[in-house]
Structure 1
Amino acid sequence: MISVLYVDDEPAFLELARIFLERSGEFQVATSTSALRSLADPAIRSYDAIISDYQMPGMDGIAFLKAVRHQLGDMPFILFTGRGREEVVIEAINNGADFYVQKGGDPKAQFADLVHMVRQAVRRKRAEITVAEQEQRYHDLQNANDLIQSVAPDGHILFANQKWLETLGYTAEDLPNLTIFDIIHEESVDHCMAMLQQVLSGESAGIIDAIFKTRDGRKVYVEGIADSRIVDGRCQYTRGLFKDITERVQAEKALCDSEHRFATFFKDNPIIFTLVSAIDGTLVDVNDAFLRYTGYDREEVIGRKVEELGLFADHTEHLRFISTLRAGRPVEGMRMLCRGKNGEIHTCRFFSKMTLINGRPHTLSAIEDLTEQKRAEEAARENEERYRLIMENAGEGILANELTPDGPGRFIDVNDAACRILELTREELQGMNLVDLDTPEMKRRAPALAQELMQKRRVVFQAGFRTGGDREKILDVSVSLFELAGKPTILSIIRDVTEVEATRSALHTLVAGMVGTTGRESLDRIVESLSAWSGANCVLISEIMPDREHARVLSMLLDGKKIQGHSYTLKGTPCESVAKGGFTIYPDNVAELFPESQGVRELNIRGYAGAPLRDSTGRVVGILCIVSRTPLTLLPSAQEIMEIVAAKAAAEIGRMNALSALSESEEKFRALVEHSLDGTLILDPAGTILFANHAAGRLTEIGQPDELIGRNVMEFVAPTSCNDVISDFSKAAKGVDGYITRYKILTANQGERWVESIGKSIIFDGTPSILISLRDITGRERAEDALREANRKLNLLSSITRHDINNQLQVLNGYITILRDTNRDPSLDGYLSRVAAASSRIASMIQFTREYEEIGVRLPVWQGLRTLVDEAGRGINPGRVILENTIPETIEVFADPLISKVLFNLIDNALFHGGKVTTIRFAATVRDDACIVTCEDDGDGIAPENKERIFDRGFGKNTGFGLSLSREILDITGITIWETGEAGRGARFEIVVPKGQYRTG
């Protein structure tokens, strides 16, 4: 594509020239009517050629040409003008115009000539640029630092740059007689021939390694790339670019020789060895031990500097190391911190000295990793510290003693806890052994325990031991056998469980006394067991009365005798302290602590212990107490024992009260059901009658309700209601119950009655059942039938009246139209408009009466809410508005059948009055025993002052009856509707369905 700028002060000729030039598809033409503006445009440099008229205002074509030559150099310039004077042509050519084309004559020939001139000028310019570029490229090739060659398919060398000639020792005059085979070394012939065949076939050979030979036979190692020029499937020549890597190869060989020399010295040595250049710190060689300890690969470290790898963690230590070596002194055992590849720090000991390799100073180091040794030392210190902390802070006693051929030796270490448990000082214990602490029982068990310890190296047991206070304590003992400083040692851990065992024994005795009893008998057993355990004069269990000021004794044992019918005041007694603060014990002087308590004075009480009885909520409902006329001495675990027993007593009191309340509730329920005016049935899941009251018997015209037991309820259901009953039974079995429904039933005398029913899933005699309450609504149904008949007649009359009024309104509107068409008096137009408006309002009122009379005519029914919304939204254009319905399919509402019109009206209002609505969303959630149904859109919303007015009759842009009727339709079954949206963010209507008017499942 050739880009052309055409400048001419004739717009019509500009357009004509552009069309002719662009017809070929070879040109892209920009036009301008001013040479001055074109020169000022930065885009002028982007064009391939300029066409210019000669005679133009401001600047003529010759002046424009001069400016172009000055500013743009030799850009192709064609003068295209109607002036044919010879002097103009000469001036144009003298000032550097490429061609001159004269306007006029045959347009086709004229523009063909112009196209030819432009094409020729641009090609010439591009050719000049190409020649210049090739000359520069040839100059660059000649002066390149790499070896560049071009070879014919027969192997003759067509071109080689100066670097190639200098490296291989040839001159330019040698090239005509040289072939590729003359410069390839014998060692590389086979490899190079294989590479040459790949390149000749047009394949990529990748990086080529080769050995060239110079004129005098020396090896030149090279690496590079080569490709070929393929024309019509045949190779014309190959091109190659190679780098002289002889020095690098020689260096690698020298390094290889060096590695071989050093391999026998340190390569496989388990001690870490490194060889580092003393000049710049470059790692020359490392052995495998170094790689294992640091985690590096050889390629990652060889040739890199120590500082670059960060091998030394402490820069100051490294400087000290270098200074020592530079001072001519060897490093003998210097410790330094070294860093591995993963950042881990090792403590190392260096043995290093300077050495010359190939005349250059190097540092040869043998390195010993002290990390494990240091860790072992630190671990030993930590273990010693840990052992000391355990010995000093353990709650259990710890003793260590020697193991001699004759048995356990003396204690070599004990902690404070062991001294406290055994009631001996450290000095006393360290002069003893385990045998000195044995009881007679322990002496009998010792041989077997010793044998088990030697076999398993650990033994755990419980036994009695003598203490320094000449008492016997029960100890839990764990004994382990281990090596300490190379000697067999016994480590014993002891725990004093004397009190725990006493508590366990007491609890066992108490529980054994309570097993197999419930209710009042269980409370008596608890009192007897506590009395025997404590040895106290009195034990009692009392229940706090509802006034929370008095307590009633449920079981009491005083001086071995049962006391019944006793109660007492809590205020000022120890029991009040228990009720308020929990477990309480007063070993002595109770009378002095509670001087106002009459019972304390009368019984001469000195010791007291009490525990609260709590119900399942934690509330104190009673008191368990032990009372003594002498100072009270109990085990330290008395609180635990009494609280366990108190929990048992509280549970029994709760059970007794629950049984009493249940019995009372059953009596109330039976009296309520037996005397109810509504029928009550209890059915099993199959419909068999398990229970019926007298009202149910009367409703079915069966004398005694017992005659209904065992019969199936479907015997009394009219055929028209069978499906409804079966459906409601199925829902009740799934837990969907508590809603009102109506059926037609058959009596025993084949009579028909209407009943209103509500069902509930219950457990009856331990099995799932259904409780049904029935109310006879036969009279109400008859009255409603009569009311519906009267309403039907009124609606018929209303329909006839509306029909006649609508006919007259059509006549009236017809005459209004005639008057408007024939009226010549403009002053009457206003009156005619008012008459037409009044006629329209009358028609709206008539339409409202037709819609209003349908409200409440049909009985409310259960309807699927999601299906209602889907049906109401069928008329929505999917391309305009999206309807999102997320209401669960399981939700049903009990409402007037016209609820479908309510939902349609909400969608219709959003579409026609909501503004730019794109989405209408319906959702439903159950909250606070109500089902909240929302309808919201993303339109303009409702202004705050209109949120309630929109439900007024007559409000709005049309008749205003829609939302008013919607509220009345919903109100039939107690459903309410409100607008709760935010103005500017869309309308939001909330329909609140109360409990009983919706169901799920």
Structure 2
Amino acid sequence: MGCTMNNSHLPIVQSDDKNSSSPILDSESINHTNTFFQAFMDNLDTPAFCLDTEFRYTFFNQTHIQQMKNLYNADIRIGECHLNYIYIKEDRERAKQNLEKALSGEEVIVREYSGDHLLSRQYCEVHHKPMKNSDGAIIGISVLVRNITDMAFILEKLYSSEENARALINAPNESVFMMEPEGTILYVNETMASRLGYTVEEMVGKSTYHFVTPDVAMRRKTYVDELLRTKKPIHVLDERNGRVIENNLYPVLNSSGEVTRIAIYGRDVTKQKETERELRESEEKYRTVVEKTHEGIVIALGSSLVFANEAFAKMSGYSTDELIGMDYLDFVPEEKREEMVKKFETRYADDTAPHKYEFELLKKDKSLFIVEISAGLIEFKGKPADLVVMRDISPRKRAEEIQTRTISLLNQTQAITKLGGWDYNLITKEIQWTDEVYKILGAKPDFLPMDIEHAFDLYSPEDAPIIKAAYNKAVTEAIPYDIELKFFRFDGTPIWVRTIGNPVLENGQVVRVTGIIMDITERKQMESSLREVIQKLRLLTRITRHDIVNGINVINLYLEILRETEDPDERQKYIQKTLDASTILEKTIGFTQEYENLGSVSSRWLSLFSITNSAISTVSMKGVRVLIDIPVEIEIYSDPIISRVFSTLLDNSLRHGEKTSEIRIFTKEDNNNLIIFYEDNGVGIENAEKESIFKHGYGKNTGIGLFLAREILSITGMQIKETGVTGGGARFQIRVPQGVYRINPAEIRV
């Protein structure tokens, strides 16, 4: 179906020069242009539409038709008011405000949620632009809509990590704060607040210039003005009260490139500057130290420190004066001192011994920090000494730990969602899988990922061409794909998967394809079960309604006869018939209680052993022995109401078996199917009745028990039949097809 439009309202480009000699388009040319425009707009995957000054549709494309159907279940038409289709009050008022702004000549771009929660709720970026004729008069509004729901989801995820970011910002000993361009503080870390003698709460919301003297405020405003003008970071040294502060100002830009925030990182570098001056004054003496000034540096003569730089003082929490004369073992946890001594002694005895390693050291407050040590021998005052350069790698180790936890969380998330990721490099032909891909395929951890062509062979014969075509389009035309297909695991088990492929381009060429594969078998089974339940409920409702109507008609007939006869015997006979018909009607109505919960709980994996035991607990067995020989690890995919099937079989054995004293329930596998056997030692069932017992209305009780049992089983594709020998007891077989039962390893008992 092409897009629908009113040609009289289509914006046709005309020359601004009213005296132009350009020929006026004839009707055929206009129609040709409109046809081309319709086809072009219908191929856009972005909803687009135009409104007149009364907000009535003059044009919309096919994508907008579908969007309005999804959001508001609306069938839109040309000439109808756009706002009349938006029945959500908040959505309608917001849309009206945006359209009125556009009519006033303003180009409006908003991001907002739209749609009915019960249908579809989307987060969209909506562009409203006024349409003008050749005279410049506004004649309508053009609207483009971009669905950015996925972007909103990502932003929510980023927002959820705010506490982690706050902890990381508060961790350093440097001052960190963020402010608006005019100076209002939006965030300040605890270090800066403490240095200024305030709390974080006392500073947030106030001007940064409130906390400094007027001359300092003026100087800082100069820095800010320079940043706002250049939109580039600024690094300055700020000296006051005998301290040297290294300030780094970073602009935060919005999507339009305007500065909306300024982040400031301030570091007290007073001692660093003093050290640099001292090093410059004694350059020859401390040349080796100067070359490594960014790391923690100590010189140990024997076991005592004779030099320590400021960086190591900060790492350890001591002052440089306190460090001189300390034993290097004072920084080593007691349980690791012997190991450290061996490293020092080995280095003295063997020049080839490792001189670079990682070690945990103690701070003054006895907390631990991890350093990367690079040690070497030097001569100090004519004696051999150790020059030890240390880099604090605690932040890196924390980052690695966070990364490890993140990877673990990712793997857990993939396992829970049954979603695996993959990446295929078209240049190197290398393919990578995440752990969950191995699980979905049923591959061992040491299995090498197969090439992409062989991976296609795992799809069902009818679906393999579909995935091949989608993949080829991704490679040759950079078109991503998202499809659901039938798939076979390595052990031959059929499953349903959702597979997504996304081409990655470099210099306009596809060089990689990344994607995910998700096991959606349970979702497909649930959808199938739901469709089956709806069909069964319709059938049962139709049967019940038919029986009730028939019962009422019978009662009405008997009442008519009673009204017309005076014979006492006849009246008594029809009164009894009326009561009998009423009893049948009551049982029929009671039948609705049997299936009112059918499908109210989603089908799921259930323990067969637990199902049968649950059914036994609902029936008074009257001394009859029940033997259950079912492995506890067997699970079946079913509606929980399946326990009613076994309680019905048990009840029938007690009612009609006459001499039943023992019942046995057991299982066996047969040609990839699971067979559940139910046997009793009663009188059995006549051959002529073996199929009739499953029909509605058959039997000595309500005539609905086994009928309902068969309907319950069929929801997930199970079948039941009676195979016993007359006089030798009843024997029912329930066939459970492949994919509807499984062996749960967690339940296997050794």
Fold similarity call, TM over 0.5:
no
Q: Which has the higher contact order (CA 8 A, sep 6+)?
A: 2
Please give the TM-score of this superposition, normalised by the length of structure 1.
0.24
Please give the TM-score of this superposition, normalised by the length of structure 2.
0.31
Quick check: which has more Rg, 1 or 2?
1
